[in-house]
Amino acid sequence: METQSNLQEFRCECGKLLFKGELITGKVEVKCRKCHKLMMVNGADGVITKEHFDTK
């Protein structure tokens, strides 16, 4: 199990913490609970690859 200090933080543009973790492969779609944007995080490099607004 990884220690919390080794986990990468993934944040929305509004600054809200989306999640902490280590993505090796694949993609994760996360909805920000603060601004309601949908964010797609690429597991290979941890880059947010797309974002768009959602209607709650």
SS3 for 1-56, per residue? CCCHHHCEEEECCCCCEEEEECCCCCEEEEECCCCCEEEEEECCCCCEEEEEECCC
Number of domains in the chain: 1
Structural domain including 48 reads 4-53
Structure tokens at 26: 């694949």
- pLDDT confidence tier of residue 56, bands split at 50, 70 and 90: low
Q: How far apart are CA 54 and CA 33, in angstroms?
A: 11
Q: Is the pLDDT of residue 50 over 90?
A: no
Check: CB of residue 10 under 8 Å from CB of residue 49. Answer: no
The closest alpha carbon to 41, from 16, 14, 21, 55, belongs to: 21
pTM above the 0.85 mark?
Answer: no
